[in-house]
Structure 1
Amino acid sequence: MKVALIPMRVEDGNFGTNWKEFERRFKEALQYSPDFIVFPEYCLTGFREWDFSGAKLYDEIVKRVSTLAKNNAVYVIFGLLEPYKSCVYNSALLINREGEVILRHRKFQEPMKFCTGNTVKTAKTEFGKVAIIICGDLYNKRIAKWIRKKKPDFLFVPMEYSPESGKISEEDLKAMSERVKLLSVKTFIVNSYPPGGAWVFDESGNLLRKSSGDKLLIFDI
């Protein structure tokens, strides 16, 4: 199982530019023949408080990414805004090699005006069970309960995190490590750029590999 984590540059409200960047980074990752290509939280629209207009592109985004996944026989995980009745979820999808959505996670850890998720699901792949959570979900007690119950083999965490300092600190990494240790699952985290960064932790919370900025991270199990 080979995973490509892409800390993609994201511009709020600029779908055209983000799509070109998504395609460019997707092609970059394909050079390494990955099984999974993983992008950050709402990576094709960005999100600026409280502009939910990017949710209108949900169907178009799913169609485009599904086509890329199918044409290249690769799993793709990415975040996007999902419209639902009168509100919007911050969601992430897993699309399989045939271009089918086989897993959807709706973020728990969101402020007012968002719909919020209430469960964690898993999807079966040839490599084992996969689960997805999003950014702040990593620190949510209810999420921890669900992850321990579902016992996935791998956890993917699309993220959009920009600390006040403008860069990821050792304290940030320590906090990630402690949460992964609590969940007891091999975890892949990818952040949007800036500040970027991608990290792979083992089941005990040990950091196995990292990249900084917008540098692609390839991890081969």
Structure 2
Amino acid sequence: MKIAAIQMVSSSSLADNLAVAENLVDEAVHGGAALVLLPEYFCQIGLHETDKFEIAEAFGEGPIQACLAAKARQHGIWIAGGSLPLATTRALKVTNTTLLFGPTGEVKARYDKLHLFSYLDGTRDIDERRTMVAGTDMVTAQTEFGRVGLSICYDLRFPELYRAMQQVDLILVPSAFTQTTGRAHWEVLLRARAIENQCYVLAAAQGGTHANQRQTFGHSMLIDPWGDVVACLPQGEGVVIGEMSQARLRSVREAIPALKHRRIPGPAAIAL
């Protein structure tokens, strides 16, 4: 089966971003994709970190979710909606949420980002905790592609999340990595997650300069269970598409049955 990651350079305009996302989903489907992943913040990267409150939706309601559901139904595909802000009971706080829509437009899984990003280098001060509530649960979903694990951006740095998923066939990583962290760590982290979990990793990124002058790294890519990069788009809007093969999964897992060999060490011994 073919799967696709969409790369965007999202603006502060919800309407414009949804229009771009719809066109790129259509492009991915025309290329044969049966599952499409959008990037983190695909619906908006605002001028201010509080802009997300203006577009936040209740779960199951609103134009962002309606757009994703309609596209999934139109093409009969799976769509993972990158991330969107969902309202919470806490004032001025939202969740950063991936919704996985099935081919008939229903939500099959919801994942709220567990690890909230912060970065301070003297010129930039990013802290998602100011406007977001962290999720609490690891989430996987069963599809015709196999078992799919959900994660978002900064989660990529925490391998224990992916180990908790047990054996999955595909990991989704919608992201908006900065230029600085992306150049240093993006590909090596993605390839590590694919190798250690012996599964495909599909990563959809933001890739360009946004209205708030934030620069995102791009390099949306598909990685196979051996850690090979199947396809990659360095910068700009577009689609990354490639094959997901069950035969390739079996071959890698049979060659090195690392998941079966895994052992959990006991408590550290006290040296005498």
Cα deviation for residue 80 of structure 1 reads 0.8
Residue 260 of structure 2 corresponds to none
Matched, 1:133 2:151: yes
Alpha-carbon distance between aligned partners in 1 of 2:102 and 2:241, rounded to the nearest angstrom = 19
Paired position in structure 1 for 2:228: 206
**May I ask how many residue pairs the two structures share in their alignment?**
216
In structure 2, what residue type is equivalent to 1:126?
E
Q: How does 1:1-221 map to 2 (within 5 A)?
A: 1-12=1-12, 14-47=13-46, 48-53=48-53, 54-56=55-57, 59-78=62-81, 79-86=83-90, 87-110=93-116, 111-113=128-130, 114-147=132-165, 149=166, 151-164=167-180, 168-169=182-183, 171-194=185-208, 195-213=217-235, 214-221=237-244
Matching residue's letter, 1:208: V
Q: Residues of 2 paired with 1:43 and 1:97: CA distance?
A: 20
1:171-220 alpha-carbon deviations (Å, 9 max, x no partner): 53123322333333211111012142211222343323222213311112
How far off is 1:91 after superposition?
0.7
Aligned partner of residue 17 in structure 1, secondary structure: helix
Change (3 A) 1:179 1:152: closer
Deviation at 1:39, TM superposition (A): 0.7
User: How far 1:16 sits from its partner (Å)?
Assistant: 1.3
Deviation, 1:11, is 0.6
CA contact (8 A) 2:201 2:224 kept: yes
**Percent sequence identity over aligned pairs:** 22
In structure 1, list runs of 5 or more residues that go unmatched: none
Specify whether residues 93 and 2 from structure 1 end up closer, same or farther in structure 2 by C-alpha distance, changes over 3 A only.
same
Q: Confirm or deny: 8 A CA contact 1:7 1:190 kept in the other structure.
A: yes
Secondary structure (helix, strand or coil) at the match of 1:29 reads helix
Indicate the larger mover: 82-91 or 40-49. Answer: 40-49
**Partners in 2 of 1:66 and 1:156 — Cα distance?**
18
2:101 and 2:108 in contact (8 A); partners too? yes
Does the CA-based 8 Å contact 2:207-2:218 persist in structure 1?
Answer: yes
User: 1:181–1:203: 8 Å Cα contact kept in structure 2?
Assistant: yes
Alpha-carbon distance in 2 for matches of 1:179, 1:30: 27
Structure 2 segments unaligned to the other structure (5+ residues) = 117-127, 209-216, 245-272
Computing the radius of gyration from Cα coordinates, the structure with the larger value is 2
Counterpart-to-counterpart distance in 2, 1:8 and 1:61? 16
8 A Cα contact 1:135 1:159, kept in partner: yes
Amino acid corresponding to residue 59 of structure 1 in structure 2: G
3-state DSSP of counterpart to 2:62: helix
Distance 2:233 2:177 in 1: 15
Tell me how large the CA RMSD over aligned residues is: 2.1
Query: In terms of mean alpha carbon deviation, does 41-50 or 155-164 score higher?
Result: 41-50
Change (3 A) 1:63 1:215: closer
- Evaluate the alpha carbon distance shift between residue 171 and residue 46 of structure 1 in structure 2; reply closer, same or farther with a 3 A threshold: closer
**Alpha-carbon distance in structure 2 between the residues aligned to 1:140 and 1:107:** 12
| Aligned partners of 2:24 and 2:238 also within 8 Å | no
